[in-house]
């Protein structure tokens, strides 16, 4: 999950300096991952999380924000579901606006991203000769 400034074109930095990120939690073999996708740039991150507690989600969100900051980009808005509402104060202190989707409304970009990642993980899994997967292997597949 590394976004190096040298790999980003100056035109991209000017056009998309302020980034909107969509986030959600995905499960693969009962392992939780915090998935994020930036609008327009389409940069995807997957961070394995040990649980879905507030502190864990907050730490993972800050790591994602730091990844963009290292690349010279600024996360200004995060779009998420109501399970992230408890992180609103922590993000607001960093100047990030958290927009929570209504209960019956999807955040389509992250939903499609998660679906694609799961399809690719299933493809890899079905080509492997193993019946059980250790945690490290599941993490690396994602």
CATH number, residue 30 = 3.30.420.10
Examine the pLDDT at 75 and tell me if it is beyond 80. yes
| Residue appearing with tokens 């998309």 | 16
Spatial distance between the Cα atoms of 101 and 123, rounded to a whole number of angstroms: 31
The more confident residue out of 15 and 30 is: 30
How many independent structural domains does the chain possess? 1
Neighbours of 19 (CB within 10 A): 20
Q: For the segment 76-126, what is each residue's pLDDT rounded down to a tens digit?
A: 999 999 889 988 888 888 899 999 988 878 788 999 999 999 999 999 999
Structural domain of 66 = 5-141
H or E stretch including 48?
strand 44-49
């Amino acid at each position: 999950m590394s976004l190096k400034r040298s790999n980003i074109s100056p035109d991209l930095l000017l056009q998309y300096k302020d980034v909107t990120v969509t986030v959600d939690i995905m499960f693969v073999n009962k392992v939780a991952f915090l998935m994020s996708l930036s609008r327009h740039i389409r940069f995807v991150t997957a961070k394995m999380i040990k649980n879905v507690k507030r502190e864990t989600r907050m730490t993972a969100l800050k790591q994602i924000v730091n990844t963009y900051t290292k690349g010279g980009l600024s996360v200004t808005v995060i779009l998420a579901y109501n399970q992230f509402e408890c992180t609103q104060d922590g993000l607001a202190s960093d100047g990030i606006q958290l927009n929570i989707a209504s209960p019956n409304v999807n955040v389509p970009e992250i939903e499609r991203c998660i679906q694609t990642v799961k399809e690719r993980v299933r493809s890899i899994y079905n080509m492997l000769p193993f019946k059980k997967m250790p945690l490290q292997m599941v993490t690396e597949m994602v």
